[in-house]
Structure 1
Amino acid sequence: MAKFDWDDLRYILAVAAAGSLAGAARSLGVNHTTVLRRIGAFETKHGLRLFERLPSGYELTAGGEELIATARRIDATVTDLERKLAGQDLRLSGTVRVTTTDTLMGSILPEILKGFRDAHPGIEIEIAISNAFLNLTRRDADVAIRPAKNPPETLVGRRIAKVAFAIYGQRRYLARRKTKDFAAHRWILPDDSLANTAAAQWLAAELPEVEVALRTDSFLAAAQGARAGIGLAVLPCYLGDSLSDLVRIEGPVAAMETALWILTHEDLKPVARIRAFTDFAAEAFKKRRALLEGGKSR
């Protein structure tokens, strides 16, 4: 029996999940030719064809399906072990990978990261920008900092403050369109990927028939569109109030309110560098509570 290389499982699982070499390569951070070589070498070595190469992508064969089921169980066990081992790390050094939103990184968070680095120069921060929760159970990130009404039950942490939302427009745009009737304005609206947010739900309920000038999957992009004078936009106050060329014309709107959370996985709570980061970030955000809650303190 040929010796099994456990690292091959990462490549097999990535191709199965993505359905393509390119998608697997992106998720693994390698060149697609590396993925092709590793998959081909595994199939040759073990005499097993894992994937059908179809025009639509890579699909698992029956034998591949059987192996993947076992590989996923092994992967879950290894990930759990890595997380528990990481939880024993008492060093104030190493890397903390943080997932957060583009709006926080485009406003408040950089100065907080600067303060943390000054206090803990031995800890490296990695930032993953995403408007959805990354999988902290699988260590896609160590810490999540993001607005949410109901964070995943698998994560632990603290609620920092309310997050207020309001309606903003560019000063020159508002000078041209003096009407207070929102239905008479052009709008920058969230696309379907943000449909579950309280802001998108409020807009759909209160302003169902408006002129849509732009749709976007990013509140930061909406802010930039508003700054260019494209139309009005709903934005978190911590972002909108920090941009001098935007004017808050309505709000905060209570129905759009959410909360800011700092979260991690329970197994990672004892890690010294993660605890240091979450404690520092929590205190830093609390000092900016007025900005988060729409009080315009900057």
Structure 2
Amino acid sequence: LETDLNVRLFRRHNKGYLLTEHGLALEQETKKVDQQIYQIQRVFKDKETELSGKLVISKPSSGGINITPLISKFIKQYPKIQLDILVAHNSDDVDNFEADISVVLTNYPAEHMIGTDIGLLPIYIYGSEAYFRQPNKNDIQDLDWIIWKDDSGRTDMESIIKGIVPNPSIVLRTNSYAEMCEYIAEGIGVSMTSPIGLPSDSKLIPFRKDKYSFDIHLWLLSHPDLRNNAKVQVFKKFFVREIQEYV
């Protein structure tokens, strides 16, 4: 292959062979070809109407929504459908046919995708009961904040908080959503999340949710070529039905 292309694809290393710059470029192009072949196979697959086989679902890597209970229930209702859950930073996984359906928290979904707007997901300020029992924690100005930094860039929690509290007391920042919930549970401070974003055994309580609610749309996105895929359609109907208690 190196002779045909007249370029070096590998170079010797004391641990073996490593890809050269040309080799790395060829590797990326090969991945693109693989994705295109996969896309063609998906579009012309013979058994689209069967409720069996693999269904790939992507969900936000940044937390905000815990779909574990819904997934568990779906598996029990449709045991022949094999779910493959991807954690994604954006909706490119749908573009590249890496996922059949993408669960996305956004107010601005991709226009070229088939989107189902599930509704507004409420976002509240959560803290532990012990934290709120402390003196002088009755006003939002007196709260200590744990900032979750969204690596995907979709959410800027710090800007939202500073929009309602001029000089917030920020005690900690983390890009780990799971750790954010743990710090809240420890009574270090408060942060923002949705009811469905909390662990199922969470004992956190919302702070004056009648006054402080920050809603965001919950979407199911899929590629137009999969509009008639039976597994995609049955998951959408199931998800829309089961998620209603949270929106």
For Structure 1 versus Structure 2, the TM-score category normalised by the shorter chain is 0.7 to 0.9
TM-score by length of 1: 0.67
Matches within 5 A, 1:116-155: 116-155=74-113
Equivalent residue number for residue 227 of structure 1 = 185
Report if the CA contact (8 A) 2:124-2:209 is conserved.
Answer: yes
Distance 1:92 1:152 in 2: 27
Q: Which runs of 5+ in 2 are unaligned?
A: none
- Residue type at the aligned position of 1:49: R
Equivalent residue number for residue 280 of structure 1 = 238
Q: RMSD value over aligned CA atoms? A: 3.4
Note the C-alpha offset of 1:260: 1.1
Distance 1:79 1:231 in 2: 47
Note the C-alpha offset of 1:96: 0.8
- Is the helix fraction higher in 1 or 2? 1
Where do 4+ consecutive residues of structure 1 move more than 4 Å? 42-47, 51-54, 67-73, 240-244, 252-255
Q: Which of the numbers 65, 68, 72 marks the counterpart of 1:104?
A: 65
Report if the CA contact (8 A) 2:149-2:157 is conserved.
Answer: no
Equivalent residue number for residue 229 of structure 2 = 271
- Residue type at the aligned position of 2:184: A
Q: Which runs of 5+ in 1 are unaligned?
A: 1-41, 293-298
Matches within 5 A, 1:79-90: 79-86=38-45, 89-90=48-49
CA separation of 1:233/1:266 partners in 2, compared to 1, >3 Å: closer, same or farther?
same
- Residue type at the aligned position of 2:21: L
Distance 2:114 2:155 in 1: 21
Higher RCO (CA < 8 A, seq sep 6+) = 2
SS in 2 for 1:104: coil
- Whether 1:91 aligns to 2:50 is yes
CA separation of 1:59/1:166 partners in 2, compared to 1, >3 Å: closer, same or farther?
farther
Q: Which of the numbers 21, 25, 31 marks the counterpart of 1:60?
A: 21
Q: 1:243-290: per-residue Cα shift (whole Å, max 9, x none)?
A: 65222113366773111111211111222222221221122113x1xx
Report if the CA contact (8 A) 2:125-2:212 is conserved.
Answer: no
Equivalent residue number for residue 48 of structure 1 = 7
Report if the CA contact (8 A) 1:49-1:64 is conserved.
Answer: no
- Residue type at the aligned position of 1:149: N
Give the total of aligned pairs. Answer: 241
**Which segment is superposed worse, 240-249 or 273-282?**
240-249
Note the C-alpha offset of 1:94: 0.4
Note the C-alpha offset of 1:135: 1.6
Report if the CA contact (8 A) 1:187-1:233 is conserved.
Answer: yes
Equivalent residue number for residue 78 of structure 1 = 37
